[in-house]
Amino acid sequence: MKPPIVLAVGAVVLVLLVGLGAAYAYFFSGLRTTPKSLAFTSATPAAPGSPGASPVSSAGLVGNWSVGSGSQAGYRVKEQFAGQSSQHEAVARTTSVTGGLVVQEAGSGVQATGLKFNAQLASLQSVDQVAGFNVSQRDRIVARTLSVSQYPEATFQAQSVNLPASLPSGSTETVTVPGQLTIHGVTKAEQVTALVKLNGSQAQINGSTTFNMTDFGISPPQVSITTVQPEVTLEFQLVLTKT
């Protein structure tokens, strides 16, 4: 029988090998997947005469619209693993999104006013996959980096944006929204590009904006043998219901 000290050393070596194997799988494996963007790829007008081409008039658009179930927001950043030539795109999302807007008639069209949307940063969860690694460990690092205990929300606000007088149900319309984005206690002017899609009594708004995290006083997370790029893409999918 082998002495206890030999067995103990063997157990330690085994644990180290398992740990190193998991680290290798994370940092050097090509088995990584990233979810598709929340944003629509392009505007898709409904074909004339098709069932989805019936326009929603300005009267149908006017009113208060609030964020409902199915809404989500999140971020995308690039990670560069040591020994890898290609970058990995880390993605995290939260369904804790609130807010809304008011649509009112304005001249020959309609105008959305009082836009305000909030996302709870503490509930961000990674949704990409890396073989051999629990990506939820990244979420704790991100929470510390964003100081979520002090700055729990990311907020986007805009005074107004013009909309067409009518929109065909089922089609999409591109909208550019200049507004104010607040993250980590810092507010900056940001322009959001979004696509609006009407489905009956609901409106879906998908869009994104890209910025440098350092502009908001956020330093890229320091992770062993991983370099995080400072550029961040904020993306969202809002399901609005008229109230």
Handedness of CA 167, 168, 174, 179 (dihedral sign): positive
Token reading at 19: 């740990």
Classified by CATH at the fold level, domain 31-242 comes out as Lipocalin (2.40.128)
For residue 212, give the DSSP letter. E
Block mean pLDDT (10 aa), the chain, length 243? 42 36 42 74 47 59 93 92 75 97 86 96 92 81 95 97 78 91 97 88 92 96 82 96 90
With contact defined as beta carbons under 8 Å apart, do 238 and 210 qualify?
no
Q: CA 35 to CA 76: how far, in whole Å?
A: 10
Contact 176, 193 (CB under 8 A): yes
Are 12 and 130 in contact, with CB atoms under 8 Å apart?
no
Task: Please give the model's pTM, rounded to 2 decimal places.
Answer: 0.78
> What per-residue confidence (pLDDT) applies to 85?
64
How crowded is residue 238: how many other Cβ atoms within 10 Å of its Cβ?
A: 25
Residue 56 has a pLDDT of 60
Distance CA 49, CA 61 (A): 21
pLDDT at 211: 96
* Cα–Cα distance for residue pair 167/82, rounded to 1 Å: 49
| Boundaries of every domain in the chain | 1-30, 31-242
